[in-house]
Amino acid sequence: MALTPDILLHGYSIGIFPMSDSRDDPEIFWVDPQKRGILPITEFHISKSLAKRMRKTELHVSVDRDFTGVVDGCADREDTWINDEIRTLYLALHAEGKAHSLEVWEKDELVGGVYGVSLGAAFFGESMFSRRTNASKMALACLTEMLGRGGYVLFDTQFTTDHLASLGGFEIDRGKYHQFLDMAQAKPAQFLTPLQPQEVVQRRTQTS
C-alpha cells in the first residue's frame, strides 16, 4: 500500500512515525519507540547564557514562511532519514495545513528552523537544523512559547538527545506516551504567530 498524507497522519494519531535509513533508500518503515522523547512546553529551560544571547540577537523568526526550505535544511547533512517520498509527503501535509515550520532568519537568509506535524493539541517535532550558533535553541524556545499560547499540551520529539535534555527534554515509556497522546489530540489548539527571541525572554521574565 502506497503511503499517503492521510495514512501518515493516521500513523501519528496512533503513536507511530515514518523513517528511512537514508536519503537514497526508497524504503520507509514505521517507528514506535519503547521510550519517547518529550519537550516540556511551559517548563522549557532557557539558560542564563541562552537568555542573554536571545536578548541581543539579530536573528528573527517566522512560521510557515519557508516550510520547504526548513525540510531541505534538515535533510542537508551527511546522514538523513528524509528521502524523496518523505519530503513529498510532508510538503503535502503542509499544503493541507497539518504540518508547520518555524524559521530562523539572519536578515533574509534562512539559518535554522524546525518542522513538524500538528494534530489537536499535540505537536510532533520531526527535525531541526542550525547554521548559526544557538539558532536551533532559539527556534525551540520560540516554538514552545508559541505552542503554549496556542493551547498545545504535548511536544513530541520522538527521541531524546543531549541537546534536547539540556533544554528540559525527557523520556516517558510507550504506554504513558500513548495515554498522553490520546488526551492531547482530543483537545483543540491553534498554531499562532511566534514572538521574537527578545519578546520570549521578556515574557518569561515577567511570568517567572
Element (H, E) at 126: strand 122-130
18-51: per-residue pLDDT in tens?
A: 988 888 888 898 999 999 999 999 889 999 999 9
pLDDT at 1: 59
Q: How confident is the model at residue 2 (pLDDT cuts 50, 70, 90)?
A: confident
Q: Decide yes or no: CATH 3.40.50.2000 for domain 32-78+100-207.
A: no
Length in residues, the chain: 208
pLDDT at 81: 82
Local structure of 101: helix, strand or coil: strand
Residue whose C-alpha is closest to residue 7's, from 81, 85, 72, 64: 85
114-149: per-residue pLDDT in tens?
A: 999 999 999 999 999 999 999 999 999 999 999 999
Spell out the domain ranges in the chain.
32-78+100-207
Residue whose C-alpha is closest to residue 158's, from 117, 103, 104: 117
The answer for residues whose C-beta is within 8 angstroms of residue 175's C-beta and 6 or more apart is none
Q: Which three cell numbers stand for residue 161?
A: 538527545
What span, in angstroms and rounded, lies between the C-alpha atoms of 173 and 140?
23
